């Protein structure tokens, strides 16, 4: 009789488990097909076609905390990026968080790469500072969230105060970024093998070449070379991320901690590089919790 009960229980468990839908990690072709919801407004920060921000604005009374969102795509537009993070923007806005989602010139556009892409991020952040009062945004509660190439740019933005006045990227008073969350980051532009493998891109496109007064091309472009940034940093990877494997974040974290930075790494099981920006993936509750913690939302 006991054996019969055991068999019945085993059969019931098998039926229950087989009836559940197990989500597969998303692939590149599925990621590229994503069309996110429209923003509440589009704000230009320059004359070029890609120099604009999508604003996802909460309803209700402000001032609102803000996520500065930087999409990925190998620093190029052929891999998409902006529309893929739009669902994240809308979801966060529905939770009372303003989202400043930055579009920028990619390496496949006139003016993209070094220094133009970085200048775009700086200009978009300056525009946020200039318009924050009118938009009822609280700049003291700000976190930059970036995916892939966008994570590198978010980490760069948080370290801008370390850029030398001799650099074309120098700014006397950059907008302070107290916290950064990087999703599948590519933080070390000295690691040419990783950049070329992930994006088929020569890192010199992102760093420029040595010039008089600017011999170290990593000192104003590569987050690993710009430490310490002073920003609390959380690096999240899908366990199955083969574009920016978790060990890249782990190596950055080791160097950053030695430099005095506060860095945390998180690896999410059963998630790919492209799952890292989806609100339907196992990464989302982890990311959502880290955003709320960075913004002191309980």
At residue 23 the predicted structure's pLDDT band, cuts being 50, 70 and 90, is low
Task: Average the pLDDT over 32-43 and give the result.
Answer: 92
- Whether 247 is covered by a domain: the verdict is yes
Task: Using the CB atoms, write b or e for 218-235: b if 16+ within 10 Å.
Answer: bbbbbbbbbbbbbbbbbb
Task: Please spell the DSSP secondary structure of 53-100, one letter per residue.
Answer: EEEE--SSS-PEEEEEEE--STTSGGG--TGGGHHHHHHHHHTT-EEE
Any domain includes 285: yes
| Separation of alpha carbons 178 and 166, rounded Å | 25
In a domain, 73, yes or no: yes
DSSP letters for 113-179: STTHHHHHHHHHHHHHHHHHHHHTEEEEEEEEEEETHHHHHHHHHHTGGGS-TTSTT--SSPPP--E
Assess if residue 153 is contained within a domain.
Answer: yes
From CA 56, how far away is CA 66, in angstroms rounded?
Answer: 10
pLDDT of residue 77: 86
Domain that includes residue 264, residue range: 27-294
Digit-coded pLDDT (tens) for 137-184:
999 999 999 999 999 999 999 999 999 999 999 999 999 999 999 999
Contact indicator for 231, 179 with CB cutoff of 8 Å: yes
Question: Is the model more confident about 119 or about 32?
Answer: 119
14, part of any domain = no
> What is the number of domains present in the chain?
1
31-40, 124-133, 259-268, 272-281: least confidently modelled range = 31-40
Model confidence pLDDT, tens digit, residues 71-118: 999 999 888 899 999 999 999 999 999 999 999 999 999 999 999 999
Of 167 and 1, the one with more pLDDT: 167
| Average pLDDT along the chain | 91
Tell which residue, 146, 188, 90, has the closest CA to residue 290. Answer: 146
* Residue range 219-270, pLDDT digits in tens: 999 999 999 999 999 999 999 999 999 999 999 999 999 999 999 999 999 9
In a domain, 15, yes or no: no
* CA distance linking residue 214 with residue 220, whole number of Å: 9
pLDDT mean over 205-210:
96
Whichever domain contains 89, its CATH number is 3.40.50.1820
- Which residue would you say has higher pLDDT here, 60 or 42? 42
Asked if residue 13 is part of any domain, the answer here is no
In a domain, 49, yes or no: yes
Q: Is the pLDDT of residue 45 over 80?
A: yes
């Amino acid at each position: 009789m006991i054996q019969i009960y055991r068999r019945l229980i085993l059969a019931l468990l098998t039926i229950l488990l087989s009836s559940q839908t197990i989500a597969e990690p998303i692939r590149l072709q599925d990621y590229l097909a994503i069309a996110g919801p429209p923003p509440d407004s589009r704000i230009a920060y320059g004359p070029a076609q890609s120099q604009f921000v999508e604003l996802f604005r909460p309803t209700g009374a402000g001032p609102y905390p803000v996520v500065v969102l930087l999409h990925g795509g190998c620093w190029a537009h052929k891999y998409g990026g902006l529309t893929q993070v739009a669902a994240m923007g809308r979801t966060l806005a529905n939770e009372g968080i303003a989202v400043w989602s930055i579009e920028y010139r990619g390496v496949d556009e006139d003016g993209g790469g070094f220094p133009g892409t970085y200048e775009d991020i700086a200009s978009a952040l300056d525009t946020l500072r200039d318009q924050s009062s009118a938009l009822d945004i609280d700049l003291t509660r700000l976190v930059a969230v970036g995916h892939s190439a966008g994570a590198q740019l978010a980490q760069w933005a948080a370290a801008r105060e370390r850029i030398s006045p001799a650099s074309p990227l120098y700014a006397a008073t950059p907008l302070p970024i107290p916290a950064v969350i990087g999703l599948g980051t590519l933080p070390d532009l000295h690691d040419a093998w990783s950049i070329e493998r992930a994006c088929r891109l020569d890192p010199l496109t992102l760093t420029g070449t040595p010039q008089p007064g600017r011999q170290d091309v990593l000192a104003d472009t590569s987050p690993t070379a710009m430490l310490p940034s002073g920003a609390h940093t959380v690096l999240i990877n899908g366990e199955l991320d083969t574009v920016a494997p978790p060990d890249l974040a782990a190596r950055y974290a080791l160097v950053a901690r030695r430099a005095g930075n506060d860095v945390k790494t998180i690896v999410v099981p059963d998630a790919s590089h492209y799952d890292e920006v989806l609100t339907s993936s196992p990464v989302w509750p982890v990311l959502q919790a880290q955003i709320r913690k960075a913004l002191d939302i309980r």
